[in-house]
Structures are given as C-alpha cells and as structure tokens.
Amino acid sequence: MEIILDNLVEAKRQLDSTIHKLKETVKTLEGKENPNRYKSQITLAQRRIEAFELSVFLIEREIRDHSKNSK
C-alpha cells in the first residue's frame, strides 16, 4: 500500500506546482496592457486551477484516510 501513498504524495506535489504556475500565468495575462485580449486564456487557466485544486483536495483526503487506516 506504500506505493499508492507515495504516488498520491507525488501527484499532489505535481499538481501544486502546476497550480502555482497557472496562477502566475493568470497574473501575467491580467497584467498585460489589454487583458481582455487574453480573456479566453485567462478563463481556461482559472478553470484548470479550480479542477486541479479539487484534485488536490481529494488526494489530501485520500492521504488522510490512508493514514487513519494505517494506525
């Protein structure tokens, strides 16, 4: 079962990194001279952030449940 836990932890780490990069992308695009020009890209990035944050939440819950069951 440890392999699964290690995979969950690594997946969370990768998602956290991607969320950070997407948030920086949104900041950059919103800071452009004409942010409306990038509206669809901003929206796509924000939707991806929401999806990845949900994934992180579910992974964290799975890790907690795994920890409770291991005791």
Q: List, for residues 15-68, the tens digit of each pLDDT value.
A: 999 999 999 999 999 999 999 999 999 999 999 999 999 999 999 999 999 888
What the block records as the tokens of 69 is: 């069951």
Q: Which long-range contacts (CB under 8 A, 24 or more apart) does 21-26 make?
A: 22/48, 22/49, 22/52, 23/49
What's the predicted TM-score (pTM) here? 0.89
Q: What average pLDDT does the segment 1-12 reach?
A: 88
Query: What pLDDT, on a 0 to 100 scale, did the predictor assign at position 3?
Result: 74
Give dist(CA 30, CA 68) in Å, integer.
42
